[in-house]
Amino acid sequence: YNGQTKKVHNPNLLSIAHRGASSFAPENTRAAFQKGVELQADYLECDVHVSKDGELVIMHDEKVDRTTNGSGLISEYTLEELKNLDVGSYHSDMFAGETIMTMNELLEEFYDHVGLLIELKNPASYPGVEEKVVSILNEYEDLGSIIIQSFDVESMRKIHNLLPSLEVAVLIRPAESLLSSRKLDDLTSFASYINFNVSFLNKRMVDNIHRRDSKVLVWSKKDKKLVAKAQKYGVDGIISDFSKWPDNEQIFLVQE
């Protein structure tokens, strides 16, 4: 990618492009990531799975069915086989021929231009994935613009222990959003960010996390009041399908 150089647009409220600028281009593809940079996202969010031959690849679902012309689990495909799938046509003909990216390619192409919020999907089904992530990131001297996140708390604790200089985030499932003080003490002892669905968050929770020196990110499913709510609660960043900022009118909403 040869676009603009990296900058944080508004350090007080990070703008994070969910699966890239996924309202404009097929999610988790080079095209969506390029669009995210163009629209001045501070970070690109993406999802990582592991191929049959152990390569870290960028896709949301554990199966290729929804977003490609193939079917079955990512873990049953080698990288070479995955590279033969079309990850753009499901969105529109305009993106026909887009191919799956590896985590290495994502870093090579975007690290210099934008922050990266990398989610490990189902890390428990990919034993050793944390070590793989750390060994890739060890090639980069400055990890200040990279965050690793997951719903899997123990996986994030492991990443933190392997590479304490790397920021990790814990994603909170909507049904588990009322975190006890004890749970908050534990999570904030290693996680730089706690990330919620905005509909299941209240200001007191945000304050309780800030008091423990961690930050709060929110994502949302079709919530038109996302930005206003997030600002009212004082969160530190918004993960949405669109990342133009700070023109609230143009914030696109996270897809189902």
Contact residues for ligand G3P, defined by CB under 6 A = 18, 45, 47, 60, 119, 171, 219, 239
Q: 124, 155 in Cβ contact below 8 A?
A: yes
Nearer Cβ to ligand G3P (119/223): 119
Q: Which of 18, 49, 91, 113 is catalytic?
A: 18
**Chain position whose Cβ is nearest to ligand G3P:** 219
Catalytic residue check, 113 = no
**Rounded alpha-carbon distances, angstroms, from residue 142 to 31, 139, 166, 213:** 25, 9, 9, 22
SS3 222: coil
Catalytic residue check, 160 = no
Q: How many CB atoms lie within 10 A of CB 79?
A: 17
Rounded least distance, CB 60 to Ca ion, Å: 6
> Which of ligand G3P, Ca ion, none does residue 239 bind to, with CB < 5 to 8 Å depending on kind?
ligand G3P
SS3 136: helix
Question: Contact region for Ca ion (CB under 5 A) — 44-52, 68-76, 82-90, 94-102?
Answer: 44-52
Nearer Cβ to Ca ion (119/241): 119
Q: Which amino acid is at 128?
A: G
Rounded least distance, CB 27 to Ca ion, Å: 9
**Rounded alpha-carbon distances, angstroms, from residue 170 to 7, 119, 148, 149, 249:** 24, 10, 9, 6, 29
Rounded least distance, CB 243 to ligand G3P, Å: 13
Q: Going along the chain, which residue ranges are E strands?
A: 14-17, 43-50, 56-58, 115-120, 146-150, 167-171, 193-197, 215-219, 237-240
119 contacts Ca ion (rule: CB under 5 A): yes
Question: Contact region for Ca ion (CB under 5 A) — 28-36, 41-49, 93-101, 230-238?
Answer: 41-49
Q: Which residues are catalytic?
A: 18, 60
Binding site for Ca ion (CB under 5 A): 47, 119
